[in-house]
Amino acid sequence: MTEKKHLFGMRAEERERLLQSMRGAKPEPRRDVTPQYSPDLTNFATLPQYTQVQVEKAVCKKLGIEEPYYICHDGLSQEVAHINGRAYVNFSCYDYLGLNGDPRIMQAVQDALARYGVSASASRLTAGERPPHRALEEALAAIYGTEDCLCFVSGHGTNVSTIASVMGSRDVIFYDQASHNSLIMGAALSQAARFSYPNNDCDALEQSLRTHRASFQRAMIVTEGLFGMDGVITNLPRLLELKEQYACFLMVDEAHSLGTVGKYGHGVGEHFGIHKERVDIWMGTLSKTLCGCGGYIAGTKALIDILRYEAPGFVYSVGMPPLLACASLCALDCMEKEPWRVAAIQEKSQTMLSLAHEAGLDTGKADGYAVIPILVGDSVTCVLLAAMLKEEGILTLPIIYPGVQEGRARLRFFVSARHTDLQIKEAIATCAKLLPRARANAKRAAG
């Protein structure tokens, strides 16, 4: 008796071959088809980002000027910079209180280096902490009157990790359009819904809250204390009203306002005289006023516990080098003991703002705290003006598209407590003198 073959349990390929043989047909040979991909897909030079970079380089070459970015300095970043042996009055660094290179900070770093070495070696979660880490966090928490504080190794990573750790897909974030890239990237990574509003336009924010807030679980309003691109102080009292009316978290980025705003440099909370615990998340960076590197979050113990154990940029990143924590702690102590530094930068900033107005320069809505933008319009004019100022011994960098909207290119002057009135006066006078020439040259280049 011939054994019958059945089709059950066979793979589709085997069944097809058996059926074809039973019909007397020859089975189709097996063919493996490999998709063909363009070699451009593994060539970074074909990415649009690379094209944009090359366009910017080509513009500088056509204008006959050096690229204004990644300039190598010979020494300290202070109110005077040295590049290739030449001295420049420096308005391109964040040494707001003039503490970078202060002997007390240098000594604190040397002592920390001898005791703790250079690296924390791994994340603080796994490799442990050093006393300077907690000392700095306790000092910052005291500044803000919060229950706790946590320091991250990266300022950008502080914002990204914090927002992404506390907000989720059922939540919504309302952010100021002028907010720093790190705040916007953190909002995107959180997968929360996102709505922007024009810079410092609380009426527009209120309308957005009225329209969208009820559709989501938790909500957060994100803003800067002092906007780094525009030198504008946020309308904190109104933001607090809205955040309380619509049950939102409020996050304030004080990267540029710690040390520069408020009688003692304690930021926008001190400036407006509000109870700082009304703000849910205080953020700041350590690389500006505090002469270090990294960022911090100050808030409730519950918030800090979440970040300490859940924030990817903290848990999975190496801890801040102890010597940098010592540097920032010493700088914070200097700020507290020497309030004249805060008064000096505020006075000098107001002087620069007034001189700019007298010279007919456009400073936008700047309030005159540390960041003084000079709006020039198109990107080519801005780059040319920066190059001309450098030839005159004045260093300030152009901010052009896509960093700002096309037509809103500007030079940003960062004021330091160490700048002299003469340096400020000459910088503004030179800028006003050269701007018409830069515009004329840009027009000729475009023609």
With H, G, I as helix, E, B as strand and everything else as coil, classify residue 220. strand
pLDDT value of residue 2: 46
Structure tokens at 210: 């009225």
The enclosing H or E element of 176 equals strand 172-176
Cα–Cα separations (whole angstroms), residue 257 to 54, 348, 356, 420: 35, 15, 21, 21
Q: Give the other-Cβ count within 10 Å of 44's Cβ.
A: 7
Per-residue pLDDT of the chain (447 residues; tens, 9 = 90+): 444 445 455 566 666 666 666 666 565 666 677 888 898 899 999 998 888 888 878 878 888 888 888 889 998 889 999 999 999 999 999 999 999 999 999 999 999 999 999 988 888 988 888 999 999 999 999 999 999 999 999 999 999 999 999 999 999 999 999 999 999 999 999 999 999 999 999 999 999 999 999 999 999 999 999 999 999 999 999 999 999 999 999 999 999 999 999 999 999 999 999 999 999 999 999 999 999 999 999 999 999 999 999 999 999 999 999 999 999 999 999 999 999 999 999 999 999 999 999 999 999 999 999 999 999 999 999 999 999 999 999 999 999 887 788 889 999 999 999 999 999 999 999 999 999 999 999 888 877
* The pLDDT of residue 61: 84
The pLDDT score that the predictor gives to residue 22 is 63
d(CA 321, CA 308): 17
Overall fold of domain 103-337: Aspartate Aminotransferase; domain 2 (3.40.640)
Check residue 77 and give its pLDDT.
87
16-70 pLDDT, tens per residue?
Answer: 666 666 666 565 666 677 888 898 899 999 998 888 888 878 878 888 888 888 8
Q: What is the structure's pLDDT at 204?
A: 98
Q: What is the pLDDT of residues 306-321, one digit of tens each?
A: 999 999 999 999 999 9
Amino acid at 275: H
Joined tokens for residue 104: 């007390």
The backbone torsions φ and ψ at residue 3, rounded to the nearest 5 degrees and listed phi first, read: -70, 130
Same fold, 64-93+339-446 and 103-337: no
Coil vs helix vs strand at 221: strand
**Beta bridge mates, 86:** 83
Residues 6+ apart with CB under 8 A from 416: 78, 79, 93, 95, 96, 97, 98, 345, 348
Q: What whole-number distance in Å separates Cα of residue 97 and Cα of residue 75?
A: 18
The answer to whether 123 and 316 are in contact (CB under 8 A) is: yes
* Domain edges within the chain: 64-93+339-446, 103-337
Strand order, beta sheet including 394-395: 80-83, 86-90, 394-395
190 φ, ψ (degrees, to nearest 5): -65, -20
**CATH T-level topology, domain 64-93+339-446:** Aspartate Aminotransferase, domain 1 (3.90.1150)
